[in-house]
Chains A and B, each alone.
Chain A
Amino acid sequence: MSESAAATWGKTGSYLDDQGRGNGLMAWLTTTDHKRIGLLYGIAMGIFFLVGMTLGLLIRLELLMPGQQFYDAKTYNVFFTLHGVIMIFLFIVPGIPAIFGNIILPLQLGAEDVAFPKLNLLSWYVYMLGAVIALTSLFAGSSPPDTGWTFYAPYSISSGGSVSLAVLGAFVLGFSSILTGMNFIVTIHRLRAKNMGFFNMPLFTWGLYATSWIQVIATPVVGITLLLLLMERLLGIGLFNPAMGGDPILYQHLFWIYSHPVVYVMILPAMGVISDILPPFCGRTIFGYKAIAISSLAIAIVGYLVWGHHMFTVGMSDTARWIFSLLTFLVAIPTGVKIFNWTATLYKASIEVRVPLLYALGFIFLFSIGGLTGLVNGALSTDIHVHDTAFIVGHFHYTMFGGAGIGMFAALHFWFPKMFGRMYNEKRATWAWGLIMVGFNTLYFPMLIMGIMGMPRRYHDYLPEFQIPHAVSTVGSWILATGIILMVVNIIQGIRHGKKAPNNPWGATTLEWATTSPPPLLNFAKEPIAPKDGPYDFTGRKPGESHEEVLT
């Protein structure tokens, strides 16, 4: 927050070019510009994602055939733990808010930056610190952590792996998450453009708003839980250790009080992305704007109260179990509201099939499978059957990867021209999308079937009867990886050599498209005014038709 009144709207040029404040690497590492910070997150997370993906491929490779192929069971435990820790804590939880929230939120609000730009940069450094600590656990100590990403007590207390470092890393990452959440809440409350009431905000902003509240409310609880686990390992305070009178199930409760709401931290921004992508490619406003906006808050609120469904089999009273089951089913309602509104938006629309829309449709398809299989786990009787099986692994990959992950790819392809002022090769992007969709389903659908057949999760070995689905799944992992690599290559080539993108290539109506691509340092050449008929007003326009003159 600069106090000088000299800085006003009207700066031009790209935020990607250094202006004033030093240049080169230092200018990036000391920047308080939300767009640059978003890209810093993007680079870090891109690398972590590729590391996590490699670990995932290694897990699938070992499971190609029954018996031991390439490495032993201990290494297998390490691999799935690190795959989970990296993908969850470093990639998918901070993912969309930290990258696209940072870059797009102030633009969508018509603001110059977030409310606390310096705090925003601090969040990135805290994130990097947490990431470095978590990754150090790979090499430090006698062996890497092997507890699974959930760090369940009492094994996490006694494990000889360097669990302490991984837990400390997750604790530090939590701070970054809280700070970003606080920053976004204040930004949305204080920095909306003229005319932009709460029900005039784009739905991506709504998604981020609900997400930020969850980050602020849920993260401190896991913070103290992980801190106590750390104290448990360092001092032996025994609160989660039954040998000392502690209660390991209490750890599970406290862990899931955070870690269930946090799945909505992953998915709500992705849902916001989809709600923003559909209108420009359908040439019409979103169906049921208010219902989608409010359902985000409803998911955030109800989602806070369902954590017990992770623990149906560990020992809870019947009353607690049916209450948690009922609440779990209730979350499906606002989620269903969104899915119906999206499909209703597509109905009889003038659809223009472009890459972002393909990803959005992929999201709806995959997330529907993820959501419906979730109900199988939410029902008490069926959950007993599928608990801790490959079915769960399939289910949460459909929601987290098929939902949040594909939502992130959708956001990347949608906002790419705005972020870099260039276009990627759309043909290659379509091929990558096709490979990802085919590979994804080949990889994860067999897990659903195997799980129902009785294949337990987190097992290094399996009975010969599971051979075929396991082999299919492993082949799927190769197809998926090929698609992702093609996508990454295409994106990098687009950044470097892509052709110049117009300011509003998709003919979208939200404020981020009202400025130049890429935007200048303070985002807008003159103060933007939000359209008064809602964020998706396409009256009198054809899909894909540019209407910059209306916005600027």
Chain B
Amino acid sequence: MSTQVQNTNAGHVHKDSIGAKTGMWLFLFTELLLFGGLFIIYAVMRGEYTHGFHAAAEELNVWLGVTNTVVLLTSSLTMVLGVSALQRGRAGLAQLYVISTLFLAGTFLLIKFFEWGAKFSHGVFPGMEHLHNLEHGEGVFFNLYFMMTGLHGIHVIIGMIVMVVVNNRLQSGTITRANQGILEYTALYWHLVDLVWIFLLPLFYLTN
């Protein structure tokens, strides 16, 4: 492996795409562990408050959750199509797909916004009086719901910011067929965001 990198006549540390990809996978691994801590808390708390969790899950709108899942899965598809378009050398098409992904990510956040907003108007938000008065299990459920979907939402926003950058670079020709790393890593990251959501959907919306 090492000879591949350094066994050139220049012997200089040049762009090492395998190294960069290894780094990206390690980063995704840490992201999984970050969410992993929350999943452990969810598992322990659900063991403790089975009924409270079921009762609270009734309050969430399954259809909005499912719609969002479809939106997010589709966005992963458009992202992959973008990568594949660039691999065929069609930067313009790749750009179109990245913008579609951005649009779908925005849709996801918009639906989430209305969902959260509806909860707020019922006084269900961490720290609000109403939540304190709920049965313990339900309170824990909603606090976890806001923490986990909130952290996921932050990841969606970060993904969108990166996509804007990727789009600009595709436009300016910095990301090309020969130098597609950043688009590829963005896609990897976006799949992780998708993957986390696929676990969040059944844990919160489908527990009743």
Contact = CB atoms under 8 A, between A and B. Distances in A.
A115 B203 CA distance: 39
B34 A9 contact: no
A185 B30 CA distance: 13
A261 to B, nearest CB: 12
Size range of the interface on B? Answer: 35 or more
A182 B34 contact: no
B136 A245 contact: yes
A217 B30 CA distance: 6
B19 A189 contact: yes
A194 B22 CA distance: 21
A356 B35 CA distance: 43
A230 to B, nearest CB: 11
Nearest to B2: A192
Contact of B6 (A7, A194, A221, A237): A194
B31 interface: yes
Contacts of B13: 1-2, 111-113, 115, 191
A2 B2 contact: no
Interface stretch (B36-44, B103-111, B167-175): B36-44
A231 B37 CA distance: 15
Contacts of A235: 126-127
Contact of B143 (A216, A220, A237, A527): A237
B32 to A, nearest CB: 8
A190 B1 contact: yes
B162 interface: no
B51 interface: no
A237 B41 CA distance: 13
Residue among A2, A235, A239, A246 facing the most chain B CB atoms (10 A cut-off): A239
Nearest to A250: B44
Contacts of B16: 1, 115, 190
A116 interface: yes
B19 A527 contact: no
Interface string B37-55: 1101100110011000000
B36 A220 contact: yes
A238 B44 CA distance: 14
Residue among A219, A223, A245 facing the most chain B CB atoms (10 A cut-off): A245
Given A113-B13, A115-B23, A247-B44, A190 B5 contact: yes
Nearest to B146: A237
B144 A527 contact: no
B15 interface: yes
Nearest to B11: A527
Contact of A221 (B3, B7, B11, B36): B36
A239 B144 contact: yes
Given A235-B127, A244-B140, A189 B7 contact: no
B136 to A, nearest CB: 3
Given A182-B27, A185-B26, A238-B140, A5 B12 contact: yes
A28 B34 CA distance: 33
B136 A112 contact: no
A1 B30 contact: no
Interface in B146-171: 146-147, 151
Given A115-B19, A224-B34, A237 B147 contact: yes
Contacts of A228: 37-38, 41, 147
B10 interface: yes
A167 to B, nearest CB: 15
A116 B17 CA distance: 12
A551 interface: no
Contacts of B36: 220-221, 224
Nearest to A117: B13
B10 A5 contact: yes
A245 B132 CA distance: 10
A196 interface: yes
Contacts of B37: 220-221, 223-225, 228, 254
A186 to B, nearest CB: 5
Contacts of A9: 11-12
Nearest to A234: B127
A87 B67 CA distance: 50
B30 to A, nearest CB: 5
A225 B151 CA distance: 13
B41 A239 contact: yes
Contact of B12 (A8, A237, A247, A254): A8
A551 B8 CA distance: 21
Interface string A1-34: 1110101110000000000000000000000000
Given A8-B12, A250-B44, A194 B2 contact: yes
Nearest to A192: B2
A193 B1 CA distance: 10
B40 A1 contact: no
Contacts of B7: 194
Contacts of A46: none
Which 10 A-B pairs give the minimum distances between C-beta atoms?
A245-B136, A224-B37, A220-B33, A192-B2, A235-B126, A237-B143, A220-B34, A190-B19, A235-B127, A236-B127
26 contacts: A2-B13, A8-B10, A8-B11, A9-B11, A182-B23, A182-B30, A183-B23, A186-B22, A190-B19, A191-B6, A192-B2, A193-B2, A193-B6, A194-B2, A219-B30, A224-B36, A236-B126, A237-B126, A237-B127, A239-B41, A244-B139, A244-B140, A247-B44, A250-B44, A254-B40, A527-B6
Given A193-B6, A236-B126, A244-B140, 19 more contacts: A5-B14, A8-B11, A111-B13, A112-B12, A115-B16, A116-B20, A182-B27, A182-B30, A185-B22, A196-B2, A217-B29, A217-B33, A220-B34, A224-B151, A237-B127, A238-B126, A238-B140, A239-B140, A250-B44
